[in-house]
């Protein structure tokens, strides 16, 4: 379907979340009519304060696990707890939001003949044995571990969306998101960036799991949203697409940079590695580069500086 110049109505499920709210702001800036749906399980309405002042934004409380009765010409599914603390606190809700949410929105897209862009995750690769991770890698996932509600929920949702495309021709598009950070991240989401920033601003020791040698690739939220907009503009997308920043950092390197930018003492507390925690995570974004011209622009130092300023303002 792609994006066109007339004021198209877009549904964003999970609109009050970190990523969903940034996507809402971008869509409004581009001139779309936007309906935001969220059950506020982990979302926060303060993330939508700016959008709420826009007459072209319409928020409604709702759950994607129930039939969705909203007019829309394009759907973004951002609905699901996405941090370990949140998705492990209620694994039943996490799995059902991933799978039933994908089912309900697929039914809606089929009925309305519209495009569904689904936020999947790099967690579908599990603790990868292939590095960096390409879309054709099937993953190394524990189906019964503490993280399985999220990892396998997202994998099952991808199966559902692929089958809807194969069987019924529904225009489903799957984006696998790699570690993303930026303003509006929840303080207590258990993600390494938010944990480090909060502790750094409070001048507390940073918690390092293992020896800090595990690596991640951190993508600033504006770059990720640009990728999603690119996916929406395509005439079609076959197969999943990685979106993220391919620059790789160890957790120890991230900790040192956050301490520098928050002017906090260089102290650490060491803890055992969590179960099934990936040792390496870096996207191969060759497909996104080829199809979208996607290239992250915000360097980690600059993105962290912006994020720390937002955290400092909210903490104060």
Peptide bond into 224 cis (omega under 30): no
Residue 3 confidence (pLDDT) = 59
* Alpha carbon distance 197, 315 (integer Å): 11
**pLDDT tens digit sequence for 173-211:** 999 999 999 999 998 888 899 999 999 999 999 999 888
Render the burial of 238-260: b for 16+ CB within 10 Å, e for the rest.
eebbbbbbbebbebbebbbbbbe
Return the domain boundaries, the chain. Answer: 9-182+219-246+278-297
Kindly report the pTM of this predicted structure: 0.93
Q: Which architecture characterizes domain 9-182+219-246+278-297 according to CATH?
A: 3-Layer(aba) Sandwich (3.40)
Which range is least confidently modeled, 85-89, 113-117, 260-264? 85-89
Q: Which tokens is 98 given?
A: 């991933």
Q: Which of 239, 240, 222, 232 is nearest to 283 (CA)?
A: 240
Is the pLDDT score of 222 beyond 50? yes
Which range is least confidently modeled, 62-66, 218-222, 291-295? 62-66
Residue 280 confidence (pLDDT) = 82
pLDDT grade for 266, boundaries at 50, 70 and 90: confident
Is the pLDDT score of 104 beyond 80? yes
Is the pLDDT score of 228 beyond 60? yes
Residue 279 confidence (pLDDT) = 80
Q: What would you report as the CA-atom Rg of the chain, rounded to the nearest whole angstrom?
A: 19
206-209 vs 33-38, strand pairing mode: unpaired
Residue 85 confidence (pLDDT) = 65
The mean pLDDT value for 275-292 works out to 89
Q: Which of 174, 160, 169, 20 is nearest to 103 (CA)?
A: 160
Torsional class of 70: left (φ above 0), alpha (ψ -120 to 50), beta (otherwise): beta
Rounded-to-10 torsion of CA 77, 80, 83, 89 = 180
pLDDT grade for 212, boundaries at 50, 70 and 90: confident
**pLDDT tens digit sequence for 5-63:** 478 999 999 999 999 999 999 999 999 999 999 998 888 999 999 999 999 999 999 99
Q: Which residue has the higher pLDDT, 44 or 275?
A: 44
Percent of the chain whose pLDDT exceeds 90: 77
**Residue in this structure with the two tokens 């799978």, named with its chain if needed:** 99
74-77 vs 115-121, strand pairing mode: parallel
Is the pLDDT score of 2 beyond 60? no
Is the pLDDT score of 261 beyond 50? yes
Residue 18 confidence (pLDDT) = 96
Identify the active-site residue in 87, 125, 150, 220: 150
Is 150 an annotated catalytic residue?
yes
pLDDT grade for 265, boundaries at 50, 70 and 90: confident
Q: Which tokens is 62 given?
A: 């709702």
Helix 251-262 vs helix 300-315: crossing angle, to nearest 10: 60
Peptide bond into 132 cis (omega under 30): yes
HSE-CB at 19 with a 13 A cutoff on CA atoms is: 30
Measured from the Cβ of residue 100, the count of other Cβ atoms closer than 10 Å reads 17
Strands (E), the chain: 9-13, 33-38, 57-61, 74-77, 115-121, 172-177, 180-181, 206-209, 215-217, 219-220, 241-243, 248-250, 268-271
Mean pLDDT over each residue of the chain, to the nearest integer = 92
Which range is least confidently modeled, 80-89, 119-128, 189-198, 203-212? 80-89
């Amino acid at each position: 379907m792609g994006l066109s110049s007339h004021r198209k109505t877009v549904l964003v499920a999970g609109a009050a979340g970190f990523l969903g709210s940034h996507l809402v702001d971008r869509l409004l800036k581009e001139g779309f009519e936007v309906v935001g749906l969220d059950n506020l399980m982990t979302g926060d309405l303060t993330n939508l304060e700016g959008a709420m002042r826009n007459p072209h934004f319409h928020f409604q409380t709702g759950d994607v696990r129930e039939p969705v009765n909203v007019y829309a010409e394009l759907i973004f599914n951002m609905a699901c707890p996405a941090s370990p603390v949140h998705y492990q606190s209620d694994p039943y809700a996490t799995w059902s939001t991933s799978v039933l949410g994908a089912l309900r929105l697929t039914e809606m897209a089929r009925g309305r003949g519209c495009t569904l862009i689904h936020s999947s995750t790099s967690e579908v690769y599990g603790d990868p044995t292939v590095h960096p991770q390409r879309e054709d890698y099937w993953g190394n996932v524990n189906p019964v571990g503490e993280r399985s509600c999220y990892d396998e929920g997202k994998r099952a949702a991808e199966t559902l969306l692929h089958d809807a495309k194969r069987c019924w021709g529904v225009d489903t598009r799957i984006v696998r998101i790699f570690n993303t950070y930026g303003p509006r991240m929840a303080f207590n989401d258990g993600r390494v960036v938010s944990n480090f920033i909060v502790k750094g601003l409070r001048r507390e020791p940073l918690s390092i799991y293992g020896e800090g040698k595990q690596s991640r690739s951190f993508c600033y939220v504006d770059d990720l949203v640009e990728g999603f907009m690119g996916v929406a503009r395509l005439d079609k997308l076959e197969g999943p697409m990685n979106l993220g920043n391919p620059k790789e950092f160890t957790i120890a390197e991230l900790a040192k940079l956050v301490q520098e930018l928050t002017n906090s003492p260089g102290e650490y507390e060491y803890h055992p590695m969590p179960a099934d925690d990936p040792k390496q995570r870096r996207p191969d974004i060759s497909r996104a580069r080829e199809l979208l011209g996607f290239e992250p622009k915000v360097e980690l130092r600059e993105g962290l500086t912006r994020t720390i300023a937002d955290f400092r303002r909210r903490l104060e």
